[in-house]
Structure 1
Amino acid sequence: MDLSTLSTLTTFDAARAAVIQTLPLFEMMRMRAATTARRHPKHGFAGADAASRMRWVNQFTHTHRRLGPDDREVVSPNNDTVYSNSWLDLSEGPVVIETPDMGDRYWTLGLLDAWTNPFAYVGRRTTGNRTQRTLVHGPGWRGEVPADISNVIACPGQDVWLIGRVLVDDKPGDVDEVRALQVQFSMRRLDGSDAAMRVDTRLDGRTVDVPLAPLYRLIVDEALARNPYPAGERPLWPGAGDELTNALPAVFEELRHADQPQGLGGGWALPVAVRTHWGDDLVTRARVARNLIGALGIEEAMYPTAEVDGEGQVLHGSNAYELRFPPGAGPRVGAFWSLTMYRRSDCLFVANPIHRYSIGDRTPGLRAEPDGSLVIRVQANDPGAGFNWLPAPPDEAFYVVLRLYQPQREHLDFHYRYPSLRRL
């Protein structure tokens, strides 16, 4: 369906088109409610009681450890980095993000606008690893940029989700080193004062059910007032009409099944292929907002995913598989890569006796074959000494994600030949 030709749509179809267009706004506001802090370290709780929807924005929150099989809040989590999170509210002026010298470590702060466009970055790939002060401002700001500002980011709206990732290596004490770096991240106003402010999220971020039409209208209307339509996009929201109550559950169900990743060959597919902007692909934008929200652009990271082997059969823990990268034909990355295992039933890590949830170019003891090939054994049982083993769940379906951090041109142009998982 062409979402731009409202004149030919029924009332229901017009409402459906409006929901598909605006759903990223609602999902982003839902995530803001779910991931912002209730409490400020100095100023206390944002709201008066536990039921309050008040939250703190313009404030970092961090995870200081890598996630494991007991963590169930996030599906398909990574096992390479720890996270830093913040929501920016630029309605009262710019925010200055201060970050320390990161040495030679991989790190990134990805900025997503309220429409889920991953439009800007601070970090190793884009701005380097030196100490930095980044000024982030909303539309219409025309102030003077201080001389000590390293980077300036102009945002298309007043609301921005900042998702940070910092690499943690498998060596003693590295988690503590990363923690010491994270606590130096800060947000201030241009005058040096704390940038934190309270906002009323109006949502219970823990609820992922289809929203009622009045709540959806309220959230979208408020978000639109602060975050204009992307340039060149025709507004469809006024045409939602009285069919919104029927359109909402229909669209949510449609998007739950509308998984249309880009095929890469060898049983691999790319669930998200955005660079900096979704353009006019509103359906994919909505699908990702509902199912994979928070995805960064592929220049920063690509996540090829395999649910089947080279013959198209579902990957299952009752089988053993081999993933073989020929000599000199491993992943082409500017930072690092990893292969991560997930149960298909809940999209979480697989507990195993060696506590290995991913394997990659930084894994201690990784060994090459005599001819220079890199072979990874993917199976439930220990294959024995001398194998690069990624444990799979016994007697259960699974999938793997090949995470590519700073993928190189061969991947970005979709010319890389991904080896298939071969059933042994």
Structure 2
Amino acid sequence: MKKAYSGIVLMLTLLLTVTGLNQGTAASKVSLTKDEIYKISKEATMYGYPTVEFYRIMYQQAINTSDSQYKAPFNQIKNIAEAAGPKDNGIQTINADTPYSYLWLDLRNDAIVITLPKIEKNRYYSAQIIDSYTYDVDYLGTRKDGNDGGSFLITGTKWNGKVPAGIKRTVKVNTDFVYVIFRTQLLNEKDLSNVSKIQTGYKVQTLDEYLGNTANVNKKVSIINWPPISKEGELKPENFYNYLNTMLQFMPEYPDEKTLRAEFAKIGIIPGKIFDMSGMTPDQQKAMAQGIEDALKEIKTKLEASPDSKGFFGTKETLKNNYMIKSMAAMGGLFGNIEEEAMYIFYLKGSDGVIYNAGKNNYILHFDKDKLPPVKAFWSITMYEKESYAMVENPLKRYLVNSAMIPDFKKDKNGGIDIYIQKTSPGKNLESNWLPAPNGEFYLVLRAYLPDKALIDGSWQKPELQINKNK
């Protein structure tokens, strides 16, 4: 349903260590009916899809050094002082407002200290901390800590040491593998050198390094033989559930999920075990595959009916085990922010239910002078091609319009702004207001960073995208 992911075909004959997937003996015969298997498989897909997506990105960015999306090994930060574009297609619906710094943490061996530099007051920055369940555990930066910087301690499931002096705040994470996404606001096209300077101030150290315990700095952690992401068939049960089993061994079971995990174990979803369907009949195997397929179809259908991201992202406590919502978030905007940090408002189809198509129509998005998105930081509107979830190449190399461009927009006689959404230029005199579209189906995402109350409570309503009948 999405583009094929990079990687190599999964080999189940890998020699695996105790911290990888355990081969074990051949699977025993499964006594469940095909209807029972279908039901469990569908429920397990709703539960596990976000974690499998977490694994896919982690494998691309931190494990597979030959992948085009590779960033850096675990516990090392990768700064990219440029806005994302069409080539950054590993994460669906990626933003182009805030150049990223990428950090994958392995917390099995030691806690990690992240240090942020002090920056100017008018710039937004953040470090979003995401666990393997894809819960947003916490944030460092502008909203919670201001712009004065400082050092923060990130601890995993087994750490119970003493917090050292100089630590501004401690964040405890309930999984061993963690993703930290740094976002640094780009104020304008000439601002990249300033962003780069800020990024070089992001510092990552193990706690031993921070404390100067040189004897412990090079202590080894057990090696994991990660199952490669399959280029084709990543959603087949033997692949999908292997990725899930791999990750679950590093994700301590929540007490309120004990019954659910026991149910999944009936079909071989067991932390650290290779998923083996050899004990199932062909009909049982077909029912399992159908459960995955139907779950993903249902997720996609519900996602496309959603007007915005309200309630999509959050902590374990705020999402309250709503696995459908978590999967919708993973499919439509993996690793999105909680609404206090940013809101995402979707333009997926018109009021007539028809998907927007710039191959057939030109469009206008009009904002009255006093009806721009209400934010404390900034807003943007980004263009994406419908099927790839990625940005679109265009002659202006412009993938979004945002609040920083307001002084350059042409205004109507009342001070309002028309944004032209179309595949060809609306004319040189209007190109400042042009957001180039693909020659086909597309969708838009309006991002609002540090949204005001009017956005969060719904009293501000987005303007509708209209067909431009004059062009």
* Residue 227 (structure 2) aligned to one of 203, 220, 223: 203
Partner secondary structure for residue 160 of structure 1 = strand
Q: In the alignment, which residue of structure 2 is the partner of 1:276?
A: 315
Q: In the alignment, which residue of structure 2 is the partner of 1:91?
A: 108
Q: In the alignment, which residue of structure 2 is the partner of 1:42?
A: none
Structure 1, residues 171-205: CA drift from partner, whole Å, max 9, x if none? 42x21221222122222123325699765351224
Q: In the alignment, which residue of structure 2 is the partner of 1:403?
A: 447
Taking a change above 3 Å as real, the CA distance of residues 275 and 215 of structure 1, as seen in their structure-2 partners, is closer
* Residue 357 (structure 1) aligned to one of 399, 404, 411: 399
* Residue 416 (structure 1) aligned to one of 451, 457, 460: 460
Partner secondary structure for residue 24 of structure 1 = helix
Q: In the alignment, which residue of structure 1 is the partner of 2:95?
A: 78
CA drift at 1:221:
4.2
Contact 1:134 1:151 in 2 (8 A): yes
* Residue 178 (structure 2) aligned to one of 139, 156, 160: 160
CA drift at 1:361:
0.7
* Residue 293 (structure 1) aligned to one of 334, 339, 344: 334
Q: In the alignment, which residue of structure 2 is the partner of 1:334?
A: 376
* Residue 425 (structure 2) aligned to one of 371, 382, 393: 382
Contact 1:256 1:291 in 2 (8 A): no
Normalized per residue, the structure richer in strand is: 1
Within-5 A mapping of 1:1-20:
10-20=36-46
Q: In the alignment, which residue of structure 1 is the partner of 2:414?
A: 371
- Residue 60, structure 1, aligned to residue 104, structure 2: no
Structure 1, residues 54-88: CA drift from partner, whole Å, max 9, x if none? x8311112222112334444432222121111121
Structure 1, residues 86-125: CA drift from partner, whole Å, max 9, x if none? 1212222211011211223211111111111112001111
CA drift at 1:228:
1.8
- Residue 22, structure 1, aligned to residue 48, structure 2: yes
Taking a change above 3 Å as real, the CA distance of residues 280 and 162 of structure 1, as seen in their structure-2 partners, is same
Counterpart-to-counterpart distance in 2, 1:110 and 1:348: 22
Taking a change above 3 Å as real, the CA distance of residues 22 and 391 of structure 1, as seen in their structure-2 partners, is closer
CA drift at 1:271:
8.1
Counterpart-to-counterpart distance in 2, 1:195 and 1:132: 25
Contact 2:127 2:180 in 1 (8 A): yes
Counterpart-to-counterpart distance in 2, 1:19 and 1:370: 53
Structure 2: which amino acid aligns with 1:181? Answer: I
Counterpart-to-counterpart distance in 1, 2:389 and 2:177: 29
Taking a change above 3 Å as real, the CA distance of residues 376 and 61 of structure 1, as seen in their structure-2 partners, is same
Contact 1:210 1:252 in 2 (8 A): no
Partner secondary structure for residue 36 of structure 1 = helix
Partner secondary structure for residue 163 of structure 1 = strand
Contact 1:210 1:249 in 2 (8 A): no
CA drift at 1:421:
0.8
Within-5 A mapping of 1:29-44:
29-36=55-62
- Residue 119, structure 1, aligned to residue 160, structure 2: no
Structure 2: which amino acid aligns with 1:154? Answer: K
Structure 1, residues 303-322: CA drift from partner, whole Å, max 9, x if none? 21112234443322232222
Contact 1:30 1:203 in 2 (8 A): no
Within-5 A mapping of 1:215-364:
219-230=243-254, 232-240=256-264, 241-242=266-267, 245=277, 246=285, 249-257=289-297, 258-259=299-300, 260-261=302-303, 268-270=307-309, 273-277=312-316, 278-290=319-331, 292-317=333-358, 318-363=360-405
Q: Identify which range, 220-229 or 159-168, moves more after superposition.
A: 220-229
Partner secondary structure for residue 233 of structure 1 = helix
Counterpart-to-counterpart distance in 1, 2:124 and 2:290: 41
* Residue 187 (structure 2) aligned to one of 157, 169, 178: 169
Q: In the alignment, which residue of structure 1 is the partner of 2:13?
A: none
Counterpart-to-counterpart distance in 1, 2:158 and 2:224: 23
Structure 2: which amino acid aligns with 1:419? Answer: P
Counterpart-to-counterpart distance in 1, 2:118 and 2:437: 40
Counterpart-to-counterpart distance in 2, 1:125 and 1:315: 35
Partner secondary structure for residue 12 of structure 1 = helix
Structure 2: which amino acid aligns with 1:110? Answer: Q
Structure 1, residues 282-306: CA drift from partner, whole Å, max 9, x if none? 2332343355432222221222111
Structure 1: which amino acid aligns with 2:60? Answer: A
Give the TM-score normalised by the residue count of structure 2: 0.75
Stretches of structure 1 lacking an aligned partner (at least 5 in a row) = 1-5, 40-48
CA drift at 1:414:
2.6
CA drift at 1:151:
1.5
Q: In the alignment, which residue of structure 2 is the partner of 1:139?
A: 157
Contact 1:320 1:378 in 2 (8 A): yes
CA drift at 1:161:
1.2
Aligned length: 402
Structure 2: which amino acid aligns with 1:380? Answer: K
Identity %: 24
Counterpart-to-counterpart distance in 2, 1:176 and 1:388: 24
Taking a change above 3 Å as real, the CA distance of residues 69 and 34 of structure 1, as seen in their structure-2 partners, is closer
Structure 1: which amino acid aligns with 2:424? Answer: N
Taking a change above 3 Å as real, the CA distance of residues 81 and 206 of structure 1, as seen in their structure-2 partners, is farther
Q: In the alignment, which residue of structure 1 is the partner of 2:12?
A: none
Stretches of structure 2 lacking an aligned partner (at least 5 in a row) = 1-31, 211-216, 270-276, 278-284
CA drift at 1:372:
3.0
Partner secondary structure for residue 30 of structure 1 = helix
Q: Identify which range, 111-120 or 184-193, moves more after superposition.
A: 184-193
Counterpart-to-counterpart distance in 2, 1:103 and 1:147: 26
Contact 1:375 1:388 in 2 (8 A): no
Counterpart-to-counterpart distance in 1, 2:259 and 2:178: 21
Structure 1: which amino acid aligns with 2:51? Answer: L
Q: Identify which range, 231-240 or 273-282, moves more after superposition.
A: 231-240
Counterpart-to-counterpart distance in 1, 2:258 and 2:112: 30
Contact 1:263 1:270 in 2 (8 A): no
Contact 2:91 2:334 in 1 (8 A): no
Give the TM-score normalised by the residue count of structure 1: 0.83
